[in-house]
């Protein structure tokens, strides 16, 4: 069975500093990978996803993530964060060929931006 690990439960960063949120996955078969963001008191929305092709994926709000198959990682990065990026970030995985319902979420990383 697949699993997702987000090692950092909280990441405090100063405004305009770069940030990396880590995500590692475990699966015996090929996967699709996702990053979702949850702003305070809201539902989740998709930031970006990796399906195939280029391992560097660009998403909304200046975020990008890189798929590294050998390290089974899909870390999320942003070169310069803003106060508005304060949110909970979830990495998620599905197995290729399975149903979209079989999505597994990580435990989330809270990104807090300090002025």
Partner 1 sequence: DTAVSQTPKYLVTQMGNDKSIKCEQNLGHDTMYWYKQDSKKFLKIMFSYNNKELIINETVPNRFSPKSPDKAHLNLHINSLELGDSAVYFCASSPDRRSWSGETQYFGPGTRLLVL
| 85 forms part of the interface with partner 1 (CB under 8 A) | no
Please identify, using beta-carbon distances, which residue of 66 and 105 lies nearer to partner 1: 105
**Interacting residues with partner 1 between 51 and 80 (CB under 8 A):** 51
Q: Which among 47, 45, 7 has a CA at the least distance from the CA of 23?
A: 7
Please identify, using beta-carbon distances, which residue of 85 and 88 lies nearer to partner 1: 88
d(CA 27, CA 16): 35
Q: Which among 69, 110, 112, 111 has a CA at the least distance from the CA of 93?
A: 69
Is 48:75 a contact under the CB 8 Å cutoff? no
Please identify, using beta-carbon distances, which residue of 84 and 98 lies nearer to partner 1: 98
Is 50:57 a contact under the CB 8 Å cutoff? yes
| 11 forms part of the interface with partner 1 (CB under 8 A) | no
**Interacting residues with partner 1 between 90 and 109 (CB under 8 A):** 90, 94-103, 105, 107-108
**Contact pick of 5, 11, 15, 49 for partner 1 (by CB under 8 A):** 49
DSSP state of 61: G
**Count of CB atoms within 10 A of residue 53's CB?**
8
Please identify, using beta-carbon distances, which residue of 9 and 80 lies nearer to partner 1: 9
Residue ranges binding partner 1 (CB under 8 A): 32, 34, 36, 38, 41-46, 49, 51, 88, 90, 94-103, 105, 107-108, 110
């Amino acid at each position: 069975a697949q699993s997702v690990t987000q090692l950092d439960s909280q990441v405090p960063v100063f405004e305009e500093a770069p940030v990396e949120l880590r995500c590692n996955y475990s699966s015996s078969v090929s996967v699709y990978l996702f990053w979702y963001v949850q702003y305070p008191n809201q539902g989740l929305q998709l930031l970006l996803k990796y399906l195939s092709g280029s391992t560097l994926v660009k998403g909304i709000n200046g975020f990008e993530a890189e798929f590294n198959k050998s390290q089974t990682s899909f870390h999320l990065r942003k070169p310069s964060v803003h106060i508005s990026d304060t949110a909970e970030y979830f990495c998620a995985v599905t197995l290729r060929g399975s149903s979209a319902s079989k999505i597994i979420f990580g435990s989330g990383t809270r990104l807090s931006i300090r002025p």
